[in-house]
Every structure is written in C-alpha cells, then in structure tokens.
A and B are shown apart, each in its own frame.
Chain A
Amino acid sequence: MAIKTRNFNEARQQASTNVELIWWVFMRVSGVLLVFLVLGHIYMNNILISNTSIDYDYVASRFSQPLIKVYDLVMLALAMLHGTNGLRYVIEDYVHHDGWRNFIKYALYFVVAVLIATGTMLLFSFPFEKVGG
C-alpha cells in the first residue's frame, strides 16, 4: 500500500515493504529535481520562444545538442517514473477490484515502458551537432 504520511519517520513505520519506502523517498527526490527540469523546460519552449512556432527543425536542433540530450533523458526518466508511481497510488486508492486494479496497473506499466524506450531512441536518433547547417 502507498504510504500516507507527512513525515519520514512515520513513513518508515508505515512502509509495508522496503520497496514502498524507497518509492516514498524517490517521489520526493525526483520531485525536487523535476521542479527545475520541467519548469526550465517549459520556460525554454514557451516563454523564450512561442510554442506555436515549434516544428521539426526546432525539435531536431534541440535534440542535436549534447546538453539537451542529457537534460531531456534525465527529465524523461524522472517524470515517467514519478508520474507512473504517482498514478499507481491513485489507482490503488480508487480501484478495489483485484483483477481490474492489476490489469490497469500493468497496462500502464507497459505503455510507459514503451514510451521510455521510444523516447530514448528518439533522442539518440539525432546526430550530436546542430542540423540544418
């Protein structure tokens, strides 16, 4: 079961398994990092430019920069894991039928695994220099 508390010592006592406690910590660590990563990402793609101008050339030029590759890869992994584990908490809270709960959870894990894989392939399918020049 998901841990419901607002304090690390209580979380340690409530944790049904060690894995559950690790997820509790992971949600907090990844959360702090995502504040900078995702807000920085939104700033770069919505405030510095107009998001209505995003096209293939823009995406390709971004993915071709080594720094952006690393940035996006970390953001991809953390956001996917944080969001998926978060949705697992929600599913476990609301779906009480064992069969349905497991079905929904594993369907979610499958979709996320595929998207982490394709998202990573996408990153590395671009060369390590600026394109279009």
Chain B
Amino acid sequence: MYRGREGQWAFFLHRITGVAILLYLLVHVGELTAAMFGAKYSNAILGFFHQPLFQLGLLAVIGAVLYHALNGLRILIMDFTSWGTRVQDKLWYGVLALFALFYIPTIIKILPEIFGGGGH
C-alpha cells in the first residue's frame, strides 16, 4: 500500500474521506434526532441545513462516500486475491474512472436543485 505514488494518494484520500464521512454521520444522526421532539423542531433543523452552503457540503459527502466505497472495494481485491496488489495502480485508475462515471451525473442532477431549481 505504501509502495509507489498511486498507493499513497489512494490511502490518503481513503483516510480523509473515511474521517469526513464519520463526522458527517455524527452530525446527520444528531440532526435527525430532532424528529423525536416533533415537527416544529425537526423542520427548523432540517430547514437550517437546506442553506446552499450545507447543500454543497452534502454533495461533497456524496463524493466522499463514492470514492471511499470504490476504493474500499479495491482494498478488498488487494487483500483477498493473489493478483490484486500487483495491479493496484491500475485498480486505482479504475476507481477514479468509476468515480467520475457516477459522480458527474450526480453533480449534474443535484447542483441545479441547490441553486433554486427543484425542491420545495
């Protein structure tokens, strides 16, 4: 994993995205918990997070999950096959290609909604 440049980038991104997703998850569950206290509080908090800045953050979280998931599968291939580690840099380019394939349409769908398109 520490061999070569690709491995280090892959590892570093995996780490950053993993920690970012966890921090998001903690806020996410906290935010949803307001629903236990009724519609008034819940809508106030959910509405607060509908500001464009947070919506952009959400888009970033989606990207983080996508990268972390795909690279996680790459790690599993390296762990459980005999050939995975040999082609780890190629696998990483595969991760990046799949990431772009899924993330670009997601951005195209969500970005207009943030700036007044769909929603409400």
Contact = CB atoms under 8 A, between A and B. Distances in A.
> Chain A's interface: helix, strand, loop or mixed, by majority?
helix
A6 B73 contact: no
A28 interface: yes
Given A52-B118, A52-B119, A119 B33 contact: yes
> Chain B's interface: helix, strand, loop or mixed, by majority?
helix
B60 interface: no
B41 to A, nearest CB: 9
B91 to A, nearest CB: 11
- Of A4, A42, A56, A121, most buried by chain B (CB within 10 Å of CB) is A56
A21 interface: no
Interface residues of B, number: 44
B43 A56 contact: yes
A63 B35 contact: yes
A32 B119 contact: no
Contacts, number: 118
Nearest to A91: B19
Interface string B23-48: 00110011011011011001100110
Given A7-B79, A63-B35, A76 B29 contact: yes
Across the A-B interface, the 8 shortest Cβ-Cβ residue pairs: A52-B119, A83-B22, A56-B42, A56-B39, A50-B118, A6-B78, A119-B29, A50-B119
Interface of A: 4-8, 11, 28, 31-32, 34-35, 38-39, 42, 46-47, 50-57, 59-60, 63, 76, 79-80, 83-84, 86-87, 90, 111-112, 115, 118-119, 121-122, 125
